[in-house]
Amino acid sequence: MQIARRLYIYFIAAVSLAMLAVGLMNLLRIGLAQIAIALGWSEVILEPGEAIRRQVSLWAAVSIVALPVWLLHWWLAERAALRPDAEGEAERGSTVRALYVSAVLAGSFIAWFFAGTALVRRLLGEVLDAPEPTGSLAGPLALVLVSASIWVYHAGVRRGDAAAVEMRGAAAWAPRLYRYAAAFIGALQLLFELGTLFRLIIEVLLPQETILPADTWWRGLLAAGVASVVVGLLAWAGHWGASLELLRQPGWRGLSERASVLRRAYLYVMILVGVVATLGFTAVFLNEAFAWALGVAPRPAGDALARRLLDPLARALPFAAAWAYHRRIVLAEAATMTEAPLQASVRRIYTYGVAFVGLGFGSVGLAYLLGLLLDAVLGGTRVVTAPPDWWRRQVALFVALTLVGTGAWLWHWYTAARRVSADPAGERGATTRRVYLFATLAASLVAVLVSLAVTLYRILTVLLGVGSARGVVSDVSAALGVFVVAAALLAYHGMVLRDDLRERRAEAVGEKVLPLLLTGPPDADLAGVLDNLRDHLPEGYTLRPRIERE
């Protein structure tokens, strides 16, 4: 009964609040535009007075209808939540209420995030004398004011609920999911736009010959870049700072935040983004350097060469900083954990995750280079008949990928090997290591099968007379390169897995065994209890039922 009541109240509250927000935003937009015209700040009148009055009538009607509906249903919700008894605590900690608050926070965040970016961009455009040809400040300003007000109010509601009762289940993770998603969105905009700003600085300091010193083309780009950076930083720092503050909170809030799977997922995703972007932009830098060294036409020099080399480095710098920062957070939090197996597990996820990404970059580059080599050695036409600039550019690109990816893989795989030497049993039996090995084996096996299928298909077309033998080497050289690299990875990681399993079996022979007897009431779920106990065992320990013989 209570669930049905809550679903009704919060659903109507959400719908009416959305209507109220749209109505107020449009009324405020029209009012601000008219004020700007009256004060002489804007001379653009896009619509006649009758059309404006018609819009005012429409949005005023929407607001007048939505406001009492939202106030009534929100009053009902708050009356139930503020009761000083168990029912009030149940209301504050309910999943439906948490989902409502999270949805409102997410919707209002998206609104003020993009509207705030547009608003700051237009303000900076006015300051830098680079205004946009269309649009006014009234629209984004109205949207920011309304959405930010809604966001601030409901953020306060959430803080009050969390301070009053302990949240469990979806009531705890739904707002947390919003918080980390918002931090991720802000971080992505911040990182990408910082790279764009650095690139703009390079373009200004090293201008192209076609750009005159008096050109002001950069002002609009500067306004857009700074606006995106400022709003992205505000969104990321606000939400990430809130999570850091929660970590220091006493009671259930701090404990829940520290044990949160969503928090770890956010940290690992940010590390993954930083790793992929840093390796990618570094590969682009090396590609440009190798292309210049190999004389790929047109061969840039002077400022043009500096721009092409500095641009990928400028874009990589923010992501490298994000990678380093979130890595430090992960390792620092792992060091504070009281259980050694949990510390090791956190470090392993980082190590094997980066190793897997690096292996992907390196194997792709090496496979393509090997395909070019096989084409040249076996008499193919892909390298011989292509212009010199083509194969030189290919070599430059894939050598860069090979060096960057292989370097990242070797360093983190070496780190993993050192841990195996220090703790053979714990490292070889770790789930993270198994996931890495099986994922690599699966990817390698798929690559082997696909490359073999492509090669066999091309050979069969020649044997069956449905394809020309000319160019068959060039057609299969790339697939052969993939096959060789994937087969090598498959064999190597297969041997590593075999050694791990052999060592684990050898250790299991001498392991200590303590017989245990698990009893319970007649209706007890002994299998479920046993599964729960297994989930909380330290690494290296097993628990299994003993089959009694009659």
**What percentage of the chain reaches a pLDDT higher than 90?**
44
What sign does the CA torsion over 296, 298, 301, 306 have? negative
pTM: 0.81
Mean pLDDT of all residues in 158-170: 87
Residues in the chain: 550
* Contact yes or no for 104/150 (Cβ under 8 A): yes
Q: How far apart are CA 208 and CA 308, in angstroms?
A: 12
Question: pLDDT digits over 126-151, tens only?
Answer: 888 776 655 678 889 999 999 999 99
Question: What pLDDT was estimated at residue 299?
Answer: 60
At residue 283, does pLDDT exceed 60? yes
Dist CA 366 CA 406 (whole Å): 9
Average pLDDT estimate for 276-284:
93
pLDDT band at 47 (very low <50, low <70, confident <90, very high): low
| DSSP element (H, E) containing 188 | helix 170-205
What pLDDT, on a 0 to 100 scale, did the predictor assign at position 210? 52
DSSP class of 41: S
Statement: residue 24 has pLDDT above 90: yes
Q: What is the mean pLDDT of residues 241-260?
A: 86
* Cα–Cα distance measured from residue 175 to residue 192, given in angstroms and rounded to the nearest whole number: 26
The band of 490, judged by pLDDT with boundaries at 50, 70 and 90, is: very high
Measure the CA–CA gap between 154 and 520, rounded to whole angstroms.
Answer: 46
Using CA atoms, how far apart are residues 181 and 74, in angstroms rounded to an integer? 26
Determine the average pLDDT of the residues in 180-192: 95
510 pLDDT band (50/70/90 cuts)? low
Range in 98-102, 336-340, 431-435, 475-479 the model is least confident about: 336-340
Indicate if the pLDDT at residue 302 is higher than 70.
no
Higher pLDDT, 536 or 104: 104
Of 92-96, 318-322, 535-539, give the range with the top mean pLDDT: 318-322
Average pLDDT over residues 311-340: 86
Share of residues in the chain with pLDDT > 70 (%): 84
Identify the pLDDT of residue 511. Answer: 54
Confidence of residue 550 (pLDDT cuts 50, 70, 90): very low
- Tell me the average pLDDT across 221-229: 89
pLDDT level of residue 549 (50, 70, 90 thresholds): very low
Give the per-residue pLDDT at 166: 85
pLDDT the model gives residue 546: 56
Nearest to 360, CA basis, from 290, 408, 324 = 408
CB–CB of 350/403 below 8 Å?
Answer: no
Q: What is the structure's pLDDT at 97? A: 92
pLDDT confidence of 317, banded at 50, 70, 90? very high
Query: With 80 as the cut, is the pLDDT of residue 301 above it?
Result: no
- pLDDT at residue 27 above 80? yes
Rounded mean pLDDT of the chain?
Answer: 84
Contact between 40 and 149 (Cβ < 8 Å): no
**pLDDT higher for 245 or 340?**
245
User: Is the pLDDT score of 502 beyond 90?
Assistant: no
Closest CA to 263 of 281, 246, 275: 246
Over residues 507-518, mean pLDDT: 62
Mean pLDDT of 418-432: 85
